[in-house]
Amino acid sequence: MSEIKVPAMGESITEGTISRWHVKEGDAVSQGDVLLELETDKVNLEISAEESGVLEKIVRQEGETVEIGESVGLIGSGAGVSPAAPSANTEAASALADVSSPSVPSKGDDKQLGSSSAAVVPPPSDSSQKASPSARKLARERGIDLGEVQGKDPIGRIYQDDVKAHTSGTAPAVQPPASAAPAKPAAAAQPEGGYGKPVERQRMSRRRATIAKRLVEAQHTAAMLTTFNEVDMTAILEVRKRRKDKFKEKHDVGLGFMSFFTKAVVGALKQFPMVNAEIDGEEVVLKKFYDIGIAVSAKEGLVVPIVRDADRLGFAEIEKSIAELASKARSNTLALSDLQGGTFTITNGGVFGSLLSTPILNTPQVGILGMHKIQIRPVAIDAERMENRPMMYIALSYDHRIIDGSEAVRFLVTVKELLEDPESLLLEG
């Protein structure tokens, strides 16, 4: 008998939440098989079997928080049962359902059950094992047999929303005899949440809860202030128009805006090193390296992977790094090393259409640059002329405890000047 233990995941991570078990008690597993998924505040990790055998016991269930080194299950020797193999009880329950139930599976049921035209109704005990802890709890509270609940999960797992849908009458259910009076759905009789109208409750993911906590901590800890400016993007757009095809052909990556902004930020940080620092107690730690965080919107919330040593990278290397990190973020395959550290952050709300915003610090960093939508606006060229120019508002949020207002303003002006003269960025390396 061997224990399935939560592995070490990095210095900053001490616990996680079991988001999903891929196997159930009694299943045979082989060395290397994925047993469960663990959700942390930074990344999701898969825990695999270190040896072959049978999953004898699941010690910690889905939704439970576990610590590093804690045992979550036991693997013993034996043949076990293949997860895909139907049991005799399942076949018996299917036959019983065919006899006792007058209802016929709908087309939607056929899609969920696969290509087979006959519905297989699992016994209550099996359904209970395939239900999440929150679903089992809600079913007990409402007196619902989980065997009657139709789930949407392709592998047959039942979640809390499935139980709610069954209660409200939106899920398929066995029709009562014609002589019986129709029962009124329980959810319709009792409005949820005390609002008198329908509501839906969703559990925060661990990452979303951590993001919320850190954003509040940043506002409570730092003396955060934001200064604004605007950039005439004409020169950058012209450079991209002239160079993008050859750049793509040579480097196999597109020439985007982020490489220009990363280069401009590095150039400004070299002139204003306090913006590249952090506070440690009563000391200021001045960082002599430039690891730039690029905020990426992923399914479970914002993540900030790091472009390492950005001052040593060319435009193509920066674009490739950002593209790779963004792809890993959206496929949930970022490693802890991709997220740890960082000296300054860039966030681009413009991709979603934001015209102006005040970004929140990514602590312990003391500065973050916000990019926004490029908007054509009339601009005074001189006292006599007006032209329509592609303009972008930029925002610098900073920690006023160690960065003076004049320093922050000059930093942002430097970023603006470098962007409006993109050739100068080649000289800042």
Give the whole-angstrom CA distance, residue 271 versus residue 72.
Answer: 51
323: exposed, middle or buried (Cβ count in 10 Å: 0-12, 13-18, 19+): middle
Evaluate the omega torsion of the peptide bond into residue 154 and state whether it is cis, within 30 degrees of 0.
Answer: no
Contact 146, 136 (CB under 8 A): yes
Contact 22, 34 (CB under 8 A): yes
Task: Write out the two tokens for 292.
Answer: 């730039």
Give the whole-angstrom CA distance, residue 314 versus residue 415.
Answer: 18
Give the whole-angstrom CA distance, residue 42 versus residue 301.
Answer: 10
Angle at 193 between CA 189 and CA 195, to 5 degrees: 80
Catalytic residue among 98, 145, 245, 400: 400
Instruction: Report which of 108, 101, 212, 200 is spatially closest to residue 152, judged by C-alpha positions.
Output: 108
Looking only at the bridges linking them, the beta strands covering 344-348 and 301-303 are unpaired
Contact 345, 295 (CB under 8 A): yes
Looking only at the bridges linking them, the beta strands covering 292-294 and 306-307 are antiparallel
The backbone region for 11, taken as left when phi is positive above 0, alpha when psi lies in -120 to 50, beta otherwise, is alpha
Give the whole-angstrom CA distance, residue 82 versus residue 184.
Answer: 41
Catalytic residue among 145, 245, 404, 421: 404
The backbone region for 320, taken as left when phi is positive above 0, alpha when psi lies in -120 to 50, beta otherwise, is alpha
CA 263 to chain centre: 27
Task: Write out the two tokens for 280.
Answer: 């440690």
Element (H, E) at 376: strand 374-380
How many CB atoms are closer than 10 A to CB 321? 23
**Total residue count of the chain as it appears in this document:** 429
DSSP code string of 182-210: PPPPHHHHS-STTSSS-----PPPHHHHH
Catalytic site includes residue 145? no
Instruction: Report which of 48, 55, 57, 45 is spatially closest to residue 19, judged by C-alpha positions.
Output: 45
Angle at 195 between CA 190 and CA 198, to 5 degrees: 60
Active site amino acids:
400, 404
